[in-house]
Structure formats: structure tokens, C-alpha cells
Amino acid sequence: MDFKLPDIGEGVHEGEIVKWLVKTGDSLAADQPMVEVMTDKATVEIPSPVAGTVAEILANEGQTIEVGKVIIRIAEAGKTAPAKQAEKVEQKQVAPTPATSKPAERVVESAVEVDESLPFHILATPATRKLARDLSVDLRTVKGTGLHGRVTKMDVQLAHEGHQAATPRSSHASLAVTPAVSTQRASVPAVVRGALQVVPLKGVRKKIAESMSYSKHTAAHFTYVEEVDMSAVVKLRASAQEEAQKRGVKLTYLPFIIKALIPALMEFPYLNSSLDDEKQEIILKGDYNIGVATDTPNGLMVPVIKAADRKTIWELATEIQLLSEKARTGKISLEDMKGGTFTVTNAGSIGGVLATPVINHPEVAILGVNAIRKRPVVKNDQIVIGDVMFLSMSVDHRVVDGADAARFMNRLIYFLSEPSRLVFA
């Protein structure tokens, strides 16, 4: 069979071949990882949809391939499913039906077991079933993303973590997002005096370069900076640390900032929009999906907190912690990284007074959160020590005027300076 680069996700039209995990002549098992492909969203590991032998590899490492182009030829193994098993299951795929109807039937391939004691036939290899048993995962609760709805090991692992992707990521096979390099940031040795060291621009760094260049050359950036007294948020967070420990949640300042962003975005919808350059249309978003720029060993990634307006501080903190960990360990999915409407980038934990962040295209604004430092502030005509933070917001001037950006920032500061106001927002 000719295996084509699959439609990896929304808005992805091409991918860079990062690394082949097989070579010509190798034997392949169904679901065995074949190749790592880098898109502008993430690095994905694509497994083989069938068992067989690698006949020919048609794409080189470092080459950019369009979706739908053949990248590998596989000589399929003969059908070896036991006749007894073949008699049990009709060889066709039928759309799932309600539990009250006759159970849906799906294709069964060799080395795939079917459990007919369940309301629906569940396709999974013995190894996947063993993993599910080891992790105490009920396969009836897992949505298969493999060929013909087969449950894969990655599906079980994601279900175990409690955050399985809602939809299949490919019509060919399940796509596991994996790190392109070690999860530990590689240390670069000092360059010998007088020498030059050449580092290829590829992988995540290449995609970051392309995305940032496109954004800077497309959006008309301007940056607005304001300071906010975070003393009330600092005290509120400190008072909640005991509860955070009980819940096993790392409570940072980001959940409070995101919580304050929501009413401000609702009042200024153009900040929560995108610009369709081709159609010349401004698209105002009714959803509030907040991207959180995350520093990872593989480069900058932006996991997205969906429906942030419907989440509590604790839910936001939990999701930030989970998505950040998945991004840093290479387990982030494409579903986790799409659909953002506004992005927050936080360098405050590292340091810095202010920044001029680059907009995460096609969004129209990004908020830079900087370090909180003790500074003199004036309260009731008295100079006192306050916990002050600078907010740096870059905005697309094609969509948002400077005055509206300033009004938006004032509204955000209104809620951050006294978080109890969020109760009435």
C-alpha cells in the first residue's frame, strides 16, 4: 500500500519529516511507530496502519511534504485472522448505534481482539488490553483513534491521564505527539574561540521562526504597557496555598490573570477576534479559549485552555498544570493546541520587567505577564510597598485601535487590583 501523509489536524497542510523510525526491508506491526513529522502545531509520531514490510521510503529527513503525498510504501502481510474469529464479526464498518439498538460491528484485523461481552465491539490488540488492565482503564470509556476505531496504547494512556482527545486525529491511524528531542534541554558547549558552529534551522525551531516571521510581517504590531498593583492577588493566592496542597494543585498567578481576562474580553470583543486576511473579514469569537505560551525543551508551544470562561480558579490551575506538563514531556496533542482566541505569555517566573511579545497569528492580541516585584506605590496619598507587575500587550493595529487597547488594559487592571470584583463580573 502507498501510505500518504495524513491530514494531521485543523489547518495543517504540510509537515517536515523529522526522523524515520524504520528503514527499507524492516518488518512492521500494525500501530508500530514509523516516522516523526513536525507540523506548525506540534511533532507527531505516525504509526503504521497495517502489518507488513517497508518496501520503499519516499521522503527524506528534513524534507517538507504536503498532506496527501505518498511518503512510504508498505508490502502488507497476508490476512492471518483465525477463521473462527472472522466468522464472529462481519467484515465491514457500520456507524455506531444507540445502546438500545443492535451492537455496531467493525472490521477485525489480525492480532486484534474483540470483546463481545461489551455493549459495543471494542477493537484492541492484546498488548493494548494488558496496558488497560495495568492502568485500570475501562475500555468501554475509551474512544478509539486507530484504524476502524481501534483503541491504541496512546488512547489508553490518555484515558488514564483523564484527558483523552475527543475526536480521532487521523483517518489513517492514531497520531501520538512525541518529543523531537530529549525532554531535558540540551546544553550547548561553548564555541571554541575563533571557530564557527553551524546549527541547522529545523524542527520546532524552524516552525517557530516561520510563525513569528509571518506574524510580524502580517499583523501591524504595537505594544501597550501598564503596571498593576498585584498585592491583593498575592495575598489571595497565599491564603489559598493550604487548599491547593490538599487538592494537589500548583496554584500560580496565571489562573487569576486568566479569570480577570474574561470579563475584559467580553467588554472588548475585538480583542478576542481574528482577521481573515484572504476574505478581509474580522471574526469576533463567542468562545474564550486562552492559549498559554509554554517554554519546553523542544521550543515554545501554546496549549489552549478551552472554555476558560466556564472554569473555576481551581479548574484553570489544574488544566494549566496538566497542559504545561504534557507540553514539556512531549505528550501534548494537536487538539490541545488549536482553537485559541487570545494568548498569555508568562516570562515572569524567569524575570524581566516588560516585553514586546509577538502575536500568535491569527489572533489579534497577546498579553505578556512579567515579574511581580516589591515597589513603592501610592495609596491614600501614602507611599507604601506594593507587589507591582508590568503587563505588556501586543495588538494588531489593523483590528484594534490604541485607545481601545488602553481601555481594555484598564479594565483588566480593575479586576486584578481587586480580585473580589470578579464575583460581580
With CA atoms as reference, report the closest residue to 74 among 172, 163, 159. 172
Residue with cell 550547548: 188
As a whole-number percent, the residues of the chain with pLDDT over 90 amount to 47
For range 252-270, the mean pLDDT: 97
* Spatial separation of the C-alpha atoms in residues 331 and 137, rounded to whole Å: 18
Which listed residue (121, 160, 163, 397) is catalytic? 397
Provide the pLDDT for residue 109: 34
Residue 227 phi, psi dihedral angles, 5° rounding? -105, 155
Which pLDDT tens digit goes with each residue over 188-198? 678 888 888 88
Higher pLDDT, 396 or 177: 396
> Which value, to the nearest 10 degrees, does the dihedral of the CA atoms of residues 47, 50, 51, 57 take?
-60
Please, which pLDDT band fits residue 7 given cuts at 50, 70 and 90? confident
| Cα–Cα distance, 24 to 7 (Å, whole number) | 24
Residue 208: all three cell numbers together: 517557530
CA angle 32, 37, 43 (to 5 degrees): 100
Q: What's the mean pLDDT in 6-25? A: 81
Got the DSSP string for 363-382?
Answer: BSEEEEEEEEEEEEEEETTE
Residue 373, beta-bridge partner list:
388
Residue 173 confidence class, pLDDT cut points 50, 70, 90: very low
Whether the CB-CB separation of 104 and 120 falls below 8 Å is answered with yes
More confident residue, 333 or 146: 333
Which of the pair, 415 or 46, is modelled with greater confidence?
A: 415
Rounded mean pLDDT, 346-360: 84
Average pLDDT over residues 78-106: 39
**Helical (H) or strand (E) element with 411:** helix 402-417
What residues contact residue 237 under an 8 Å CB cut-off, 6+ apart?
Answer: 251, 253, 256
Q: What is the mean pLDDT of the chain?
A: 81
Residue 120 parent element (H or E):
none
Percent of the chain predicted with pLDDT > 70: 78
Query: Is the pLDDT confidence value at 38 over 70?
Result: yes
The H or E element containing residue 387 is strand 382-396
Q: Is the pLDDT of residue 321 over 50?
A: yes
Mean pLDDT in residue range 391-399: 96
Evaluate if residue 409 carries a pLDDT over 80: yes
29 contacts 21 by C-beta, under 8 angstroms: no
User: Checking phi first, is residue 61 left (phi over 0); if not, alpha (psi -120 to 50) or beta?
Assistant: beta
Distance of CA 318 to the CA centre of its chain: 15
- Reduce the DSSP state of residue 230 to 3 states and report it: coil
C-alpha cell at 28: 512492521
**Residue 17 reports pLDDT greater than 80:** yes
Beta bridge partner(s), residue 27: 53
Mean pLDDT of 29-54: 84
Separation between Cα atoms, residue 334 and residue 177, nearest integer Å: 8
The residue ranking higher by pLDDT, 134 or 3, is 3
Q: For residue 149, what pLDDT is reported?
A: 67
Distance CA 280, CA 274 (A): 11
| Contact yes or no for 234/387 (Cβ under 8 A) | yes
What integer pLDDT is reported at residue 384 of this predicted model? Answer: 94
End-to-end CA distance of the chain: 58
Which residue reads 516523526 in cell numbers?
36
39-48, 63-72, 189-198, 306-315: which has the highest mean pLDDT? Answer: 306-315
Residue at grid coordinates 494488558: 130
How do beta strands 52-57 and 365-379 pair? unpaired
Say how many C-beta atoms besides its own lie within 10 A of residue 170's C-beta. Answer: 19
- Residue 71 near residue 172 (C-beta atoms within 8 A): no
Q: How confident is the model at residue 417 (pLDDT cuts 50, 70, 90)?
A: very high
Grid cell 481576562 in the structure block, residue: 261
Instruction: Mark whether 148 is an active-site residue.
Output: no
Mean pLDDT value across residues 173-189:
45
In this predicted structure, the answer to whether residue 182 has a pLDDT above a threshold of 50 is: no
The pLDDT of residue 125:
67
pLDDT(311) > 70: yes
Average pLDDT of 136-156? Answer: 74
Query: Cell 498488548 sits at which residue?
Result: 127
200: cell is 541547522
**Angle ∠(347,353,355) on CA atoms, nearest 5:** 65
